[in-house]
Amino acid sequence: MDMTSKTVMITGASRGIGAEAARVFANAGANVVLLARSQDDIAALAGEIGEKAIAIPCNVARYSEMYSAVATTVKVFGGIDVLINNAGVVDPISQMSAADPDEWGQLIDINVKGVFNGIHAALPVIKSGGGGSVLTISSGAAHNAIEGWSAYCASKAAVNMLGRSLHLEESANGIRAIGLSPGTVATQMQRKIKDSGINPVSQLDWDVHVPADWPARCLLWMCSPEADKYCGEEISLREDEIRRAVGLI
């Protein structure tokens, strides 16, 4: 994929999948907009990438900050072609009976409201440019209940429906909405899961997790016409068909 002259906005870009996606898209020629609460981390990544990157501190759970980030992006790069909704948290990991209600609600604010906020703020800009892609990181947890993950499972199920709803409403306007379930990825989130000791996912050996550049490379492929048949759906990086299409096997 040649992304020259395209602009890609990535939430949760300070580390993990988001940071790797920034590198992959920048290497493909795109301008990349790095959003995260961790100002120092995204500033360092923007410095690494160079003039094609800008870092904007942003809490996706606050619509005003997301709206402002979109306005800044338009001012600097002229538009948005791809929005990658990657920001997400897994805490609190606990039984529902023991969960802190405020922490449970904070996860929903980030994982669900954050995705809606990104879509709502960026959609008019993407449409005004003739259309583009809205790619959202989902999870197998969207489809299967996992002990201790009530908030995370609920949030990813909601995100799956947000993507499907976006496709229903905006595909005729050139919006390509696709979800990506990356499987288990070797990121800091997996270290938190491991430390929790709750449910079978925390018992997995580290070497079974795929590297973060795999989903990043998949996100780039999802912007290609080859992925058009998956618009309105969620694809899984666990599937050999997808890994083959991306060039991972």
Is 218 part of any domain? yes
From residue 56, alpha-carbon distances to 75, 76, 145 in Å are 13, 12, 35
How much is the pLDDT for 197?
63
**Tokens linked to 115:** 């995705």
pLDDT at 142: 86
Contact 189, 90 (CB under 8 A): yes
Q: What is the pLDDT of residue 31?
A: 98
In a domain, 125, yes or no: yes
**Separation CA 2–CA 229 (nearest Å):** 20
Taking alpha carbons only, the member of 137, 118, 152 closest to residue 216 is: 137
Q: Is 63 known to be catalytic?
A: no
Range of the domain at 89: 7-246
pLDDT at 240: 93
Q: Is 15 inside a domain boundary?
A: yes
Quick one: which of 157, 178, 156, 183 has its CA closest to 240? 183
Domain count within the chain: 1
Q: Is the peptide bond before 57 cis (omega within 30 degrees of 0)?
A: no
List 63, 67, 152, 230, catalytic entry: 152
How far apart CA 42 and CA 54 sit, in angstroms, is 8
The Cα 83–Cα 141 span in angstroms is 22
Residue 69 maps to a domain: yes
Q: Would you say residue 142 lies in a domain?
A: yes
pLDDT at 94: 86
CATH of the domain at 224: 3.40.50.720
Handedness of CA 29, 84, 181, 205 (dihedral sign): positive
| In a domain? residue 2 | no
pLDDT at 159: 95
Other C-beta atoms lying within 10 Å of the C-beta of residue 37? 16
Q: State the 10-residue block means of pLDDT for the chain, 249 residues long.
A: 95 94 97 95 97 97 98 98 95 88 96 97 97 94 84 94 98 97 69 64 61 91 97 94 92
